[in-house]
Structure 1
Amino acid sequence: MPRTRDGGASVPRVAWLLGPALVAGVAYLDPGNVASNMTAGAQYGYLLVWVVVIGNVMAWLIQYLSAKLGIVTGRSLPEVLGERLRNRWARRAYWLQAELVAMATDLAEVIGGAVALNLLFGVPLIWGGLITGAVSIGLLVLQQRRGARPFEFVIMGLLVIIAVGFGVGVFIAPPDPAGLVAGLVPRFADANSVLLAASILGATIMPHAIYAHSALARDRFSARPAGGRAADAPAATAAADAPAPPPEPGTATTLPTEVLVRATRVDVTVAMAIAGTVNLCILLLAAVNLSGVEGTDSLEGAYTAIGASLGPVIATLFAVGLLASGLASTSVGAYAGAEIMHGLLHVRIPLLLRRLITLVPALAILALGFDPTLSLVLSQVVLSFGIPFALIPLIALTAKAGLLGRWRNHWATTAAGVAASVFLITLNALLLWLVFTGA
């Protein structure tokens, strides 16, 4: 049994250490995922199953490295980058692209929540967007006033609703095993399938989740002994602009880093297993029930088709899952946006003001009557182009002995991270080529 640093009583069970990855993992189940996976399944059947699987494997590695950075250094990825980017304009340029990515994320989440409220209760889309934004504000206030653990419990409760809402239909109408196996073979059908693959990856490996997870792990776990240095990381220093907060009662801030890193592997494994399974269920649900059905190129059409195929109960569960997805993920997105601004620009603005500003693009799209589902899919493509800007620095920083000490990446881990980066960048380059050549 692991011990505390002072050799006292045994540490809490590993289960109590779970949470940050489950919160960050909600970003992998946002309405953008639903739209991308649903569209892929409806249009191409099992063709892009392999993209979901590979994306989830890469997501495990990426989220683990993000959490490890936060635990060992006691700083988030934006904070570390803010310290290392000495040039003010370079720091601002990096912040701008990260902020645009966070806003694209918020776009998908607010629109998804608005569509779900419209499907369930007939709420006009613009009012549904406002309600979704208001609920996200409430959840963020909970996180600020009550600490990390209550926020985690609420998000995990929504995660259960999401899993049930999107998973039940697959058990009612199971997929064809042969088609599922065939879908594991990497291939594309046409330019649109490449677009959807980039959209799925953008929805699966989300840049804001990389930024957020390091901050969530820092807030929950990082140990800052006297002198302001993070545990087992001699070169790591606490954020310069604020004193280290006192340990929150009931958290693991006094545990050895080895225990925290081990628990984080379990945390990330559980979170990614849930996220990957639910994402696969969404694609399979569409592949089985929506393939070739007219009008399923929108969430509203998919809801109607699911109701006609599987009954109103399954359709209602789908809409409830979509609503929970929007409410949970928009809170995590807003948290990430605030951390990006603070870490890179050392600026904090009132939470309510920031939330209102980031709501504007989504509300404008809803008010102007743009196709919500198309907006969701395209927002995920935008996210896929932001991945390298978060992923490459993460791989490079976690490989540095001067920053993480003995917790730096093994060479094989770094190699896997580089391979993931090359794959994602190549896919994005292929997508650009297809777009600009008209293919």
Structure 2
Amino acid sequence: MNKDLAIADSETTTQTAETIPTSGWRRERTQTTLPEAFRSVKIPKNGSTFRKFLAFAGPGYMVAVGYMDPGNWATDLAGGSQFGYTLLSVIMISNLMAIVLQALSGKLGIVTGRDLAQACSDHYSKPVNFGLWILCELAIAACDLAEVIGAAIALNLLFGIPILYGVILTALDVLIILLLQNKGFRYLEAMIIALIATIGLCFAFELIWSTPNMGDVFQGFVPTTEIIKNPEMLYIAIGIIGATVMPHNLYLHSSIVQTRQFEQTALGKKQAIRFSTWDSTIALFFALFINAAILIIAAAVFHTAGRTDVAEIGEAYHLLAPMLGTSLAAILFGVALLASGQNSTLTGTLAGQIVMEGFLNIRLAPWLRRLITRMIAIIPAVIVTALYGDKGTMDLLILSQVILSFQLSFAVVPLVQFTSSKKKMGQFVNPMWLNILAWFIAVIIMGLNIYLLYRTFSG
């Protein structure tokens, strides 16, 4: 392992010293993304397709974490308890949008050698870049805030730890990421996949106990015009989309695909794009399962019993045990929430490091970047919890999702713009059908998020 890391470090030094090709960009790029992990994972040159795919597998699951974070839980719970299975179609559509955008993000990193933040830095003027950086940092802080609150709520529900103390305890996870980063990038991926498996297993049991009507479940995946006609249903549907497609994931994915040592040839990049797309697509179907499971459980347990008012995580936790007849249902719900919050904080830190290095060309020690990110999230959570209690943290969770919705368009539009450019992507430029689809998704996301912001601030 140490020998492999030493080889990877020497290759990283060589790659950093070289100038990455810059056709179509305003300036040259001389720094690599995440230098401590850049091209550190070997890809077998010989062997089966499946073996090569396994070498590429990992980044997709790190990205999928953002699609099942605690910020999604409230919207899924509200959608299921109020409207039954109807909004399952919205979860599916938002996941399909995410699959397209993450595939484009991975392709951008593989082809250009730039993550999305670096691409913006090398394309736009300094004032525009500074504005994009500020917006992105706000989004990452908001996302981290949702994870902090989610983990604190889980600690409170499982162990009775006051939310204020739980928020402070979440800062200790900095030790976990530092340990795993020192061991190697694959160790970090392995832990994240293990936590995703834990979440999936917990919800598999919850689904069995809730005994949903499978006919209604399958029907819920079929879109209906009722979603558009019913203003309250539309509002929650937009919230689900806003909470599902996360802007920081686009920056993260375009960077971590470069941890693989794929050949820097047209054939090597084509293979890397194919395996990267498979990886993220499969991982996002796991995220679809988790989000759909939360909504299905809320529909089967709460909606069918007439409890259409359940929208808060804590309330759902306390109702699950008596309504399902087993205390284990509530415990597994809490364990899944804790695993979700912990998982999301790990990837959020990497995204923060990528954004700061990419936009500003400033490199900080991983522990310092981690500490800054955590403090930005923890300080508001501590203040609000101390002043307003548990209710204040839920309001803060909602505010974090509004901030994420606002920033999303500022990540999606550059991504589609860059991957649609022949000068920047060469032979890997998006085909016409993909361009049309990508811009359609971008316009839909912008329109829905503008409406969500309007509804939120107009009360």
Name the TM-score, length of structure 1 as normaliser: 0.86
User: Using the alignment, how far apart are the partners of 2:415 and 2:398 within structure 1?
Assistant: 26
Aligned residue identity for 1:274? F
Distance 1:413 1:362 in 2: 41
Distance 1:385 1:26, change over 3 A: same
- Aligned residue pairs: how many? 404
Q: Match of 1:333, SS?
A: helix
- 8 Å contact 1:111–1:366 — kept in the other structure? no
Shift of residue 340, structure 1, vs aligned partner: 1.0
Matched residue SS, 1:347: coil
Q: Which residue of 2 aligns with 1:138?
A: 175
Question: 2: CA distance between counterparts of 1:231 and 1:360?
Answer: 47
- Provide the rounded CA distance (Å) in 1 between the counterparts of 2:251 and 2:186: 19
Matched, 1:216 2:231: no
Q: Which residue of 1 aligns with 2:82?
A: 43
The residue number in structure 2 matching 1:245 is none
Match for 1:173 among 197, 205, 210? 210
> Using a 3 Å threshold, how does the CA distance of structure 1 residues 325 and 437 change in structure 2: closer, same or farther?
closer
Q: How far apart are 1:178 and its partner, in Å? A: 4.3
Q: Does 1:306 align with 2:325?
A: no
**Residues 115 and 251 in structure 2, CA contact (< 8 A), matched pair in contact too:** yes
SS in 1 for 2:260: helix
Question: Which of 333, 351, 354 lines up with 1:318 in the alignment?
Answer: 333
**What residue ranges of structure 2 are gaps of 5+ in the alignment?**
1-41
Select the residue among 382, 386, 407 that pairs with 1:363: 382
1:119 to 157, 169, 193: 157
1:295–1:301 contact (8 Å) kept in structure 2: no
| Match of residue 342, structure 2, among 322, 327, 337 | 327
Q: What secondary structure sits across from 1:293 in the alignment? A: coil
* Whole-angstrom CA distance in 2 between matches of 1:302 and 1:7: 47
1:43 to partner: Cα distance: 2.1
Q: Which of 243, 251, 254 pairs up with 1:203? A: 243
Per chain length, whose mean CA-contact separation is higher, i.e. which structure has more relative contact order (CA < 8 Å, sep 6+)? Answer: 1
Aligned partner of 2:419 in structure 1 is 398
In the alignment, the residues of structure 2 paired with residue 385 and residue 216 of structure 1 have an alpha-carbon distance, to the nearest angstrom, of: 25
Structure 1 residue 159 and structure 2 residue 196: aligned? yes
CA contact (8 A) 1:70 1:222 kept: no
- 8 A Cα contact 1:32 1:109, kept in partner: yes
Give the distance between the partners of 2:129 and 2:74, measured in 1 at CA: 33
Question: Does the Cα contact within 8 Å between 1:64 and 1:268 map onto a contact in 2?
Answer: yes
Three-state SS of the structure 2 residue aligned to 1:119 is helix
Unaligned runs of 5+ in 1: 224-229, 233-254
Following the alignment from structure 2 to structure 1, what is the Cα–Cα distance between the partners of residues 150 and 374? 17
Give 2:426's aligned amino acid: G
| Aligned sequence identity (%) | 34
1:272: Cα distance to partner? 0.9
Letter in 2 for 1:397: F
* Structure 2 residue identity aligned to 1:399: S
Query: Which string of whole-angstrom CA distances, capped at 9 and with x for unpartnered residues, describes residues 68-89 of structure 1?
Result: 1112222211011111122x22
Does residue 412 of the first structure (1) align with residue 433 of the second (2)?
yes
Which residue in 2 is equivalent to 1:296? 310
Q: Does 1:285 align with 2:325?
A: no
Gap change, CA 1:416 and 1:8, over 3 Å in 2: closer
Instruction: Flag the 1:112–1:6 CA change in 2: closer, same or farther, 3 A.
Output: closer
AA partner of residue 213 (structure 2)? D
CA shift, 1:192, in A, is 3.7
1:380 to 390, 401, 410: 401
Secondary structure at 2:122 match in 1:
helix
Residue matched to 1:354: 372
SS in 2 for 1:302: helix
1:21 match: secondary structure: helix
